[in-house]
Amino acid sequence: MDLLAFYGGSFNPVHYGHLKTAQYLAELLPQSRIIFLPNSSPPHKDTAKLSYEARRAMLAAALAECLPDTARFGICDLEADATVRHYTSDTLRQLKALYPEQFLAFIMGWDSLVTLDQWKQGLELHQLAQLIVLKRPGPQQELPPAVQASIAAYPAHYRIVANPEFDVSSSAIRAQIAQLKSAGGSAEPLPELKALLPRSVRALIAEHHYYG
């Protein structure tokens, strides 16, 4: 593959929005491999105290069920250590050392781009990887001047793509699961969430009583 595109996030839990986005990008970038990069301790997010291992297991199950082509999709465990804070700038430097001959990209949402100047060395990320920015339909929050200036100075280092709308968030799913309080064990685990989560992910949540 010509491009390794790393898709960072908490994936807490992984849902169809994440999976459809990865599939969309794989179709948009035919010579790419989309690699999920779960973060054990995101500096800017609360992972709801669910372990990296649990979130990673759900992600692996979701890929096996929905995106089984291992030549196009995978998981990177570079941010598995929960004892340290994982900053994207540090991780991308490690990835460049691991894949010196590969062209790297990092996938982020528009909401992350809006705050990029607040990230650790955020305005230097374009030097480490192309930034693929997912833009949802509708009005977007205005970018701060420093981010606008970086995009204007290095337009080839930023690739802004329209992401098909999928109105769901992991936090809303967690809240819904907490309300359902499923005990698991049914033939169809958490049927209320069939439109949001793959069956394998729902089964793990029900079996281990995650979020409830």
pLDDT at residue 125 is higher than 90: yes
pLDDT at residue 180, as a whole number: 86
Residue-averaged pLDDT of the chain? 92
Q: Among residues 28, 52, 67, which one has the least CA distance to residue 200?
A: 67
Higher pLDDT, 169 or 59: 59
**Phi/psi of residue 11, each to 5°?**
50, 60
| pLDDT band per the 50, 70, 90 thresholds, residue 158 | very high
**pLDDT tens-digit map of 166-211:** 778 899 999 999 988 755 556 789 999 999 999 999 999 999 999 9
Domain tally for the chain?
A: 1
Residue 55 has pLDDT above 90, yes or no: yes
The verdict on residue 35 lying in a domain is yes
Q: Is the pLDDT of residue 105 over 90?
A: yes
- The verdict on residue 194 lying in a domain is no
**pLDDT the model gives residue 168:** 82
- Is residue 9 included in any domain, yes or no? yes
CATH classification of the domain holding 8:
3.40.50.620
SS3 readout for the chain: CCEEEEEEECCCCCCHHHHHHHHHHHHHCCCEEEEEEECCCCCCCCCCCCCHHHHHHHHHHHHHHHCCCCCCEEECCCCCCCCCCCCHHHHHHHHHHHCCCCEEEEEEEHHHHHCHHHCCCHHHHHHCCEEEEEECCCCCCCCCHHHHHHHHHCHHHEEEEECCCCCCCHHHHHHHHHHHCCCCCCCCCCHHHCCCCCHHHHHHHHHHCCCC
Which pLDDT value is given to residue 44? 62
Question: What are the structure tokens assigned to 206, written together?
Answer: 């029900």
Residue 172 lies in a domain: no
- Residue 210 forms part of a structural domain: no
CA 180 to CA 172: how far, in whole Å? Answer: 12
93: in domain: yes
| Per-residue pLDDT, 184 | 53
Q: Is residue 32 part of a domain?
A: yes
- Which whole number is the average pLDDT over 25-32? 94
pLDDT at 35: 98
Does 16 map to a domain?
yes
pLDDT digits (tens, 9 = 90+) for 9-24: 999 999 999 999 999 9
Q: What does the pLDDT read at residue 45?
A: 60
Q: What is the pLDDT of residue 13?
A: 96
Give the Cβ contact number of residue 83 at 10 Å: 6
Q: Answer with the residue of higher pLDDT: 52 or 188.
A: 52
What is the mean predicted confidence (pLDDT) over 97-119?
A: 96
Where is pLDDT greater, at 136 or 94?
Answer: 94
**In the prediction, which pLDDT does 157 show?**
98
Query: Would you state the pLDDT for residue 60?
Result: 98
What is the mean predicted confidence (pLDDT) over 67-92?
95
Structural domain including 94 reads: 3-167
